[in-house]
Amino acid sequence: EAQVTQNPRYLITVTGKKLTVTCSQNMNHEYMSWYRQDPGLGLRQIYYSMNVEVTDKGDVPEGYKVSRKEKRNFPLILESPSPNQTSLYFCASSPGPARQGYTFGSGTRLTVV
């Protein structure tokens, strides 16, 4: 089944403890992105990648890191999480051209206490 797989689905952590949210797609998509969803703000892009080894900042990149060492994987790293990073996170992938839209993962609910 063609899909974007995110793990974990739920995560509670403490301030300052490094964590990684994994994202993998099995559709050979070129483009991948991370978004965060907050009430009243919709979804905002954190980082994106249009090719292996090529990543770029989205609208809200502060406090996050990403890497794209291989086409299928695009992990999101929070080196020192803070409570303001409590949010719902989505990974998404696209074949490339804009018309095809994005396929989203199931989301990761992160709580930083």
Partner 1 sequence: AQTVTQSQPEMSVQEAETVTLSCTYDTSESDYYLFWYKQPPSRQMILVIRQEAYKQQNATENRFSVNFQKAAKSFSLKISDSQLGDAAMYFCAYRSTFKSSGDKLTFGTGTRLAVRP
Q: What type of residue sits at position 9?
A: R
Give the HSE-up count for residue 22: Cα atoms under 13 Å, Cβ half-sphere.
8
Query: What x-and-dash track marks residues 72-111 binding partner 1 by CB under 8 A?
Result: ----------------x-x-x-x--xxx-xxxx-xx----
Q: Using the minimum distance from each CB to partner 1, give the nearer residue, 9 or 17.
A: 9
Applying CB under 8 A, does 113 fall inside the site for partner 1? Answer: no
Q: Which of 40, 53, 62, 69 forms a contact with partner 1 (CB under 8 A)?
A: 40
Applying CB under 8 A, does 42 fall inside the site for partner 1? Answer: yes
- How many residues does this entry show for the chain? 113
Applying CB under 8 A, does 27 fall inside the site for partner 1? Answer: no
* Residue for token pair 């060492």: 69
Applying CB under 8 A, does 45 fall inside the site for partner 1? Answer: yes
CA 98 – CA 111 distance, rounded (Å): 32
CA 69 – CA 46 distance, rounded (Å): 18
Considering only 14-22, 34-42, 62-70, 74-82, which stretch makes contact with partner 1 by CB under 8 A? 34-42
CA 81 – CA 98 distance, rounded (Å): 32
For residue 50 the two structure tokens come to: 């249009």
Q: Which residues would be at the binding site for partner 1 (CB under 8 A)?
A: 31, 33, 35, 40-45, 48, 50, 56, 58-59, 88, 90, 92, 94, 97-99, 101-104, 106-107
